[in-house]
Amino acid sequence: MKENNVEILDRLAEVKSSIIGEISKVIVGQNQVIEEFLIALLSGGHCLLEGVPGLAKTLLVSTMAQVLHMRFSRIQFTPDLMPSDITGTDILAENKADGKRYFEYIKGPIFANIILADEINRTPPKTQSALLQAMQEYKVSAGNKTFELELPFLVFATQNPIEQEGTYPLPEAQLDRFMFNIFIDYPSYQEEKDIVERTTMGHLQQVNSILTGEQICDIQKAVRAIPVSDHVLDYAVKLARSTRPGYTEAYDFIKKWVNWGAGPRASQYLILAAKTKAALNGRLSPAVEDVRSIAEIVLQHRVLISFAAEAEGLKSKNVIQRLLKEIG
């Protein structure tokens, strides 16, 4: 018998513990990043990851796919990558029975459940845009045909924040389709020691699958059905609107430091992520604190700072942190 929404959410905290336990067999530390991954996954949102080389971004995504028993596809973005290398292409085939030729569509690597778009900013905007339809509509158009993608479908894209030569900044329209922008930092001393010990001993642990794609889709539906109180909804909308310098009630520092604020999709993601975070912690309704805890990773890639802010050495996350203090 299929579980109802309440039963699914009741056991979500236990599922979270099992998933983290399996991932921890391979990944040392990064507990906050893993939880943010889970929030995005169970909300049905895509993630943009940033961090210097060697911080296990690729390993984390591939391990997550193993634990969740989903099809995983890695696409290495390079300057010569073409859109058809991602979505697929028509090839000329021949029918062996009658010798007639016809075009057959060969699906590209985007036809998977979890996509790792590695170093996405190393390919031109034309190729980057091949992901746009898939990320928003869960469809791929090729010629005069449209193909549905199997759900769940999630894109985890990585960027290297220190090498800017030969890169193409992601257009704002594409950045806005990522639910989270997550920065992965260096491990602590003890974590790095554990990493070195574990990876140089030759003992690699196997991870077990915890959830299937169908179960994840059920959880995503259950999360969306979680009720939200009006004051939490008001807080999320006010927070997103307060990032816009043209907003009538915008703070003076926003008008000075921000060129362009977050759009309505930010408000949607603030609430959806808050719902998922609450459910993962065993609560059936999100609080304002849930919204505040994920605000930075939802907003920082949607807030475009001004030259005045850059001149003061500020980044978008600094502006958001100041905004959270002001709003309270």
b or e along 192-203 (b: 16 or more beta carbons within 10 Å of the residue's beta carbon)? eeebeeeeeeee
pLDDT of residue 163: 59
b or e along 210-236 (b: 16 or more beta carbons within 10 Å of the residue's beta carbon)? bbebebbebbbebbeebebeeebbebb
Same domain, 289 and 215: no
Write down which residue in 171, 190, 223 finishes a domain. Answer: 223
Same domain, 76 and 203: yes
Same domain, 258 and 212: no
Same domain, 184 and 252: no
Domain CATH for 311? 1.10.8.80
Write down which residue in 165, 188, 223 finishes a domain. Answer: 223
Please say if the pLDDT value at position 1 is more than 50.
Answer: no
Query: Considering the chain, what percentage of its residues have pLDDT values greater than 70?
Result: 96
Q: Range of 211's domain?
A: 1-223
**Bridge partner list, 180:** 47
pLDDT digits (tens, 9 = 90+) for 68-102: 888 888 988 888 888 888 888 878 777 777 777 77
| Strand ranges, E, within the chain | 46-50, 72-76, 88-94, 101-107, 114-118, 139-142, 145-148, 154-159, 178-183, 258-260, 304-305
Same domain, 147 and 43: yes
Same domain, 75 and 180: yes
HSE on the CB side for 123, CA within 13 Å? 22
Find out whether 209 and 18 touch, Cβ atoms under 8 Å.
no
pLDDT of residue 64: 84
Please say if the pLDDT value at position 284 is more than 60.
Answer: yes
Same domain, 254 and 208: no
CA 272 – CA 276 distance, rounded (Å): 6
Same domain, 140 and 94: yes
Write down which residue in 166, 199, 223 finishes a domain. Answer: 223
CA 39 – CA 181 distance, rounded (Å): 13
SS3 207: coil
Tally of domains within the chain: 2
Residue 62: Cβ within 10 Å count: 17
Query: Considering the chain, what percentage of its residues have pLDDT values greater than 90?
Result: 21
Which amino acid appears at position 317 of this protein? K
Please say if the pLDDT value at position 267 is more than 80.
Answer: yes
**What confidence category does residue 271 fall into, taking pLDDT thresholds of 50, 70 and 90?**
very high
Residue 283: Cβ within 10 Å count: 16
Same domain, 289 and 160: no
The residues, ordered by sequence, that sit 6+ positions from 202 with a Cβ below 8 Å of its Cβ are none
The residues, ordered by sequence, that sit 6+ positions from 185 with a Cβ below 8 Å of its Cβ are 51, 55
